[in-house]
Structure 1
Amino acid sequence: MDPRKLLYFATVVEHGSFKKAAKHLNISQPALSTSMDRFERSLGERLLDRGPSGVSPTPAGDILYAHARLIREELTLAERRVATHEHQPDDMVVVGTLPSLIANIIPSAVCRWRTRHPGPTLRVIEKIQLELLISLVRGELDFIIAQTEWYGFMEGLRQRVLFRDRLYVLGRPGHPAFERDDVTLGDLARYPWVIQMIGRQRSLLEKLLAQEQVGMPASLTECGSVNFLKSIVAGSDSLAMLPGSAVDADVHAGKLRPFNFNGPLFHRDIAVIYRDEAPLSQTSKELVEAVANAGLKLASASLATDPPNTGGSADDL
């Protein structure tokens, strides 16, 4: 497959016209048309439908275009990284982290790390778990602070567990579910829930409710922002599940209140994950240690909860 013809093909699909695509590529229209004819013959597939109203991809062309677009994006990324390499300081640190860690643990670690490293440029990127892993593999991040879950999803990565934090089911202080002493997670499934996009919290909630033979809540709101989750919970009867380090201040301020569910499934391991081919620099290692220390300190503090619920503990799971 000719890489240049592949990129030409993507341009034709996006412009829907040989004339417009040729102008964008700065080549003649006949040359582009001939190139696409040869490209189709080389693959033995018709990729483009040509009509009086323009050009559109065939089903096979749609499949190829999806790959062509990704290849072009990777080439663009490679060009940008090479072009900016000379201008990027050797002591720049680019770290990715989860939204649930950005409110407390990461800032605390950065403040401690800065006392010893005032010079390096630090760039902190906040993304959900899967996006962090993809950015790490693509070389956009030096390392990430994320959950150990999905670690084996991609090859060429290494990890080291830094600390363990606890997840809490949270509601507003006046939530009607707090009026019951024996409330279970199954009972809470009757209320709306707000959860993080594509993450352990959804799979965990499914697993916990399945233990009680209860389906997922009928009303679900998904987002990638911890602040959004907390605001929805504080202002409605929606419930959420977040780590204690992300909600400690909100609980003490009386904005949120935790339910007293506990057990192994309510704990998660947080690790540093980096590419095997790009070991951490000494500067990065010291930042990682600062994150570990902050995590151990903040995640170990339990939120105040009511006396144990007789029906709601997850200790048996």
Structure 2
Amino acid sequence: MRTIDLLNGRVKLRHLTLVVAIAEHGAVSHAADHLRIAQPALTRSLRELEHILGVDLFVRGPRGVRPTLYGDAFLEHARAVLAELRRAGERITGLADGEVGTVTIGTLLAGSNVLLPRAIATLKEDRPGITVVVQEAPFDTQIPRLLEGDIDLILGRLNPIDDLPGLRQITLYSEPVRLVVRRGHPARSVDGLALGDLLGFPWVLPLEQTALRHELEQVFHAEGLPLPGNRTECTSITTVRTLLQTTDMIAAIPESLVRTDDELVALPIPLSSVRRSVGITLPARGSLTPSARIMLEHLHTHAAEITDLMEAEDG
């Protein structure tokens, strides 16, 4: 099969823009409205691109158009190119004045409760013109968006990336994970409380694909115990906190969450093998935008403060 040369000047930036718009809107007419161009002109440009590539990028269906196999492949690269161009524009602007820009952060359960709000607050005091966009989702869901440039960094518990060579990580701090309940929880009145005594209570556990869930399963296995049968699986910190405050549920959550909530207390059952390392996941290549670099500086500052506080309390 012939090699397609996309560096000969025939493929234009408008081709990338229109392909992404058609995919996002699911119809040529809607994409044309979004781009504020006539539908026939957009159709001609699409046909021109398909002729250059020698393949069909979309097929028409009963509910609009959808990408073909070739379309999905081209879209992946088109989005990445457009994201890099947006980064280039922001970088030039940031280098010019350092006062405006956008930083998009993907967050997990860890790091989003204490560290991130503090970092955002001080960044906005320092650079009110920088817009901070926070998007919460599981780690595996965030990775493609990070590599495509849709988000600048992922903040949260550091997940293994040995099989993901396109990534790098920065550790910010490490802290214990505790078994936590509300202050009036009946388990607090049990003498010599052990993990097995908690199986009769309802639990909130992390989702199966998370590192914390795997570590908790190992703790129960080491004690010769099954996982609690009465359980809810959730990673939303807002939901977990509310369930702990209003029910007899038990959850394993980071120590910093307990420290910032007067209604919650840790049970005297150590989870010595369970700690969370909180940090940043970044693409292995490419530089951060000025806005993302400034956010990273604030995250480093507040992570150091959290570490100092934990060390002082342990001492």
Higher mean displacement: 257-266 or 90-99: 90-99
Distance in 1 between residues matched to 2:98 and 2:85, nearest whole Å:
19
Tell me whether 1:270 sits opposite 2:281 in the alignment: no
1:103 corresponds, among 107, 113, 135, to: 113
2:241 corresponds, among 212, 230, 242, to: 230
1:256 corresponds, among 264, 274, 280, to: 264
Tell me whether 1:190 sits opposite 2:200 in the alignment: yes
- Written as runs of structure 1 = structure 2, the 5 A alignment for 1:115-126 is 115=125, 117-126=126-135
Tell me whether 1:214 sits opposite 2:222 in the alignment: no
How far residue 301 of structure 1 moved from its aligned partner, in angstroms, is 6.3
Residue identity matched to 1:102: S
- The corresponding residue for 1:309 is none
- Written as runs of structure 1 = structure 2, the 5 A alignment for 1:12-91 is none
Residue identity matched to 1:155: P
Tell me whether 1:134 sits opposite 2:118 in the alignment: no
TM-score by length of 1: 0.65
2:304 corresponds, among 287, 293, 299, to: 293
Unaligned runs of 5+ in 1: 16-25, 28-41, 43-47, 55-61, 304-317
Number of equivalent positions: 289
- The corresponding residue for 2:103 is 94
Distance in 2 between residues matched to 1:168 and 1:95, nearest whole Å:
30
- Equivalent position SS for 2:165: coil
1:172 corresponds, among 159, 182, 185, to: 182
Identity of aligned residues (%): 20
Report if aligned partners of 1:170, 1:256 keep a CA contact under 8 Å in 2.
yes
Residue identity matched to 1:249: T
Distance in 2 between residues matched to 1:165 and 1:128, nearest whole Å:
22
In structure 2, do the counterparts of structure 1 residues 256 and 149 end up closer, same or farther at CA, with 3 Å as the change threshold?
A: same
In structure 2, do the counterparts of structure 1 residues 93 and 79 end up closer, same or farther at CA, with 3 Å as the change threshold?
A: closer
- Equivalent position SS for 1:283: helix
How far residue 231 of structure 1 moved from its aligned partner, in angstroms, is 0.9
Report if aligned partners of 1:169, 1:241 keep a CA contact under 8 Å in 2.
yes
- Equivalent position SS for 1:123: strand
Report if aligned partners of 1:170, 1:259 keep a CA contact under 8 Å in 2.
yes
| 1:72-121 Cα shifts (integer Å, max 9, x gaps) | 98799789889999999975252423334233222223334445x33440
- Equivalent position SS for 1:278: coil
- The corresponding residue for 1:158 is 168
- Equivalent position SS for 2:273: helix
In structure 2, do the counterparts of structure 1 residues 228 and 119 end up closer, same or farther at CA, with 3 Å as the change threshold?
A: closer
Unaligned runs of 5+ in 2: 5-14, 28-38, 41-54
How far residue 226 of structure 1 moved from its aligned partner, in angstroms, is 0.5
